[in-house]
Amino acid sequence: MNRIAETLTEILTNKFNVAAEAVRGEASFEDLELDSLAQVELGELINERFGVALTDEEMLDLNSFDDITALIAERVGSPR
Amino acid sequence: MSDTAPLVTGIGLVSPAGIGVDRNWQRITEAVPATAHDPVLAGLPVDISCRVPEFDPDALLGQHRAWRLDRYAQLALVAAKEALETAGVIPGEVDPARVAVVLGTGAGGTTTMENQQTALTRDGAGAVSPRTLPMGLPNMASGEIAIEFGFRGPVLTTSTACASGATAIGVARDLLRSGTVDLALAGGTEAVITPLFVTGFHRIRALSRHIHEPREASRPFSVGRDGFVIGEGAGMLVLERSEHARGRDAPRWAHLAGYGATADAHHPTAPAPDGAGAEAAMRAALTDADIAGADISHVNAHGTSTRLNDALEADVVQRVLGDEALVTSTKGVTGHTLGAAGALEAAYTALALQHGTVPPTANLTEPDPGIGTELATTARSAPGRAALSNSFGFGGHNTALVLTCP
């Protein structure tokens, strides 16, 4: 798991109480039990942790955990 | 005195005197002042406060719960948990529709609102958190308590400034007495030690400027008192209809025997000089409890350490209860916790009755000679079976609660 996925997993488990085993690449927001408010909150935390500003619309358009990490990677430049 | 008055069956305390009932009672009876310099207030004319020591919301509530709550709700939730635990109430085992939550707060999630206003001004709309309103609204602490424990009766917020916590207890008492609910979580919470709030209080000359010796700044009834010290905290009581409490063999800390509430209708911040509103509230609480003033063993005063309040309050107590009335103020230890104060002090009053000990007023080495009532300069043994707690608030709110031994 790359650094972005690790950090995102940590945010989901610590801040949103998502079970670690539920965090998978293909997991949807529904699988992660994140409602629309939680999705916008997640955008806030991504901004704090990665310095990446995602609009609410961008957050709501994402469909899976992999989608989120991919978009963050694209915005921060070079993922490790 | 009535055995049918609602019982206090649980207490939860988070205050500048510490976290938990035992720690609070120890610090209160030892009269250890909590006032200290506050880094958040550095550079302001008044930079002292009374904070809850070692409050770790992530550890106490879980990070996933804590980060979505303003501090005023975090404090309330921790106090609510302890109140239910000490009452032996397991949320799933009581009828949730028959449980009320009534919580007082003067300012709600003002800290969140201030921070988000700053973010908006500095960085624009995109910087405003989606948690702004869920954290900032003044009703959210009581709402979050209902969510946490699944309580579905009336969930209310009272706001009568520095009387808010006492008002909440009175309103909950009415819900129990009317038969609307069997059990109520009632109390007060406040967390507004912010530069804006402190400056606001300073600008109306309400705060002590005794910043060179912080521990001596909150000195109710003392000569040289010059204002209050801002504090934070939350106090929660479990109040219960006596039949319901008996039915589950609940702990019995005290009866909530009387409640009186009036308004001065006089001035936004100054008490009415004749003290008629405060006097009427005290007399109403005594009548409500059906006990005589002579039966009151001590008064936990509003006693803020302002020149105006303490002199006037002592006069009113003397008028209502006579020269023998023993008066204490626990704000010498906790500072003024604003909307939490009435609830914390109702709890301290219940504990005083249970222990047979009237806590001393901290820093009262030299009582104001203009005050005629008996003042508790040291902890006193008090065998009495009834006590009264006063709370007054900006806006002219006067609230008195009478508690009796169960």
Q: Is A36 on the interface with B (CB under 8 A)?
A: no
Choice among B202, B298, B336, B397 that is catalytic: B336
Are B130 and A55 within 8 A, CB to CB? no
Cβ B177 vs Cβ B255: under 8 Å: no
Tokens standing for A2? Answer: 């790359």
Average pLDDT over every residue of B338-354:
98
Check whether B315 has a pLDDT greater than 70: yes
Q: At what angle do helices B341-355 and B164-177 cross, to 10 degrees?
A: 70
Q: Is B124 on the interface with A (CB under 8 A)?
A: no
pLDDT-derived band at B1 (thresholds 50, 70, 90) equals: low
Active-site residue flag, B64: no
Nearest CA in chain A to B127: A44
| Closest alpha carbon to B242 in B252, B227, B232 | B252
pLDDT-derived band at B171 (thresholds 50, 70, 90) equals: very high
Tokens standing for A24? Answer: 């998978």
Chain A hits for B134, CB-CB cut-off 8 Å, are 37
pLDDT more than 90, % of chain B: 97
Catalogue all structural domains in chain B, each as residue range(s) with its CATH number: 8-247 (3.40.47.10), 257-404 (3.40.47.10)
Check whether A78 has a pLDDT greater than 60: no
Facing B64 at nearest CB: one of A16, A53, A55: A16
Are B126 and A55 within 8 A, CB to CB? yes
Q: How far is CA B315 from CA A78, B111, B263, B336, in A?
A: 73, 36, 18, 21
Active-site residue flag, B162: yes
CA angle (B384 as vertex; B21, B3 as ends), nearest 5: 80
CATH number of the domain enclosing A39: 1.10.1200.10
Q: Which domain holds residue A72?
A: 3-76
Cβ B278 vs Cβ B316: under 8 Å: yes
Q: Is B128 on the interface with A (CB under 8 A)?
A: no
Amino acid at B35: T
- Burial degree of B1 (CB within 10 A; 0-12, 13-18, 19+): middle
User: What's the pLDDT score for residue A80?
Assistant: 40
Phi, psi angles (nearest 5°) of residue B156: -125, 160
Q: Which residues contact B60 (CB under 8 A, 6 or more apart)?
A: B19, B66, B74, B78
Write the pLDDT tens digit of every residue in B75-93: 999 999 999 999 999 999 9
Taking chain B, what is the end-to-end CA distance rounded to the nearest angstrom?
10
- Say how far apart CA B198 and CA B192 lie, in whole Å: 8
Average pLDDT over every residue of B322-337:
96
Average pLDDT over every residue of B45-54:
98
As beta bridge partners, residue B266 has none
What burial letters (b/e) apply to B309-338, b meaning 16+ CB within 10 Å? Answer: bbbbbbbbbbbbbeeebbbbbbbbbbbbbb
Check whether B4 has a pLDDT greater than 90: no
Active-site residue flag, B302: yes
Q: Is B147 on the interface with A (CB under 8 A)?
A: no
User: What's the pLDDT score for residue B383?
Assistant: 78
How near does any CA of chain A get to the CA of B69, in Å? 12
Are A15 and B62 within 8 A, CB to CB? no
Check whether B27 has a pLDDT greater than 50: yes
- Say how far apart CA B22 and CA B259 lie, in whole Å: 26
Chain B hits for A40, CB-CB cut-off 8 Å, are 130
User: What's the pLDDT score for residue A65?
Assistant: 96
Write the pLDDT tens digit of every residue in B101-151: 999 999 999 999 999 999 999 999 988 999 999 999 999 999 999 999 999
Q: Is A44 on the interface with B (CB under 8 A)?
A: yes
Are B130 and A14 within 8 A, CB to CB? no
Choice among B202, B244, B255, B302 that is catalytic: B302
User: What's the pLDDT score for residue A79?
Assistant: 44
Amino acid at B27: R
Write the pLDDT tens digit of every residue in A8-32: 999 999 999 999 999 999 999 999 9
Average pLDDT over every residue of B169-182:
97
Check whether B2 has a pLDDT greater than 70: no
As beta bridge partners, residue B401 has B259, B389
Where helices occur in B56-158 by DSSP H, the ranges are 57-61, 63-66, 71-87, 110-123, 132-136, 140-149
DSSP B403: E
Looking at every residue in chain B, the average pLDDT score rounds to 97
Q: Is A17 on the interface with B (CB under 8 A)?
A: yes
User: What's the pLDDT score for residue B324?
Assistant: 87
The predicted complex's ipTM stands at: 0.86
Q: Which residues contact B28 (CB under 8 A, 6 or more apart)?
A: B17, B330, B333, B334, B348, B351, B359
DSSP B369: T
Q: Is B212 on the interface with A (CB under 8 A)?
A: no
Average pLDDT over every residue of B300-321:
97
Are B64 and A41 within 8 A, CB to CB? no
Taking chain A, what is the end-to-end CA distance rounded to the nearest angstrom?
10
User: What's the number of domains chain A is made of?
Assistant: 1
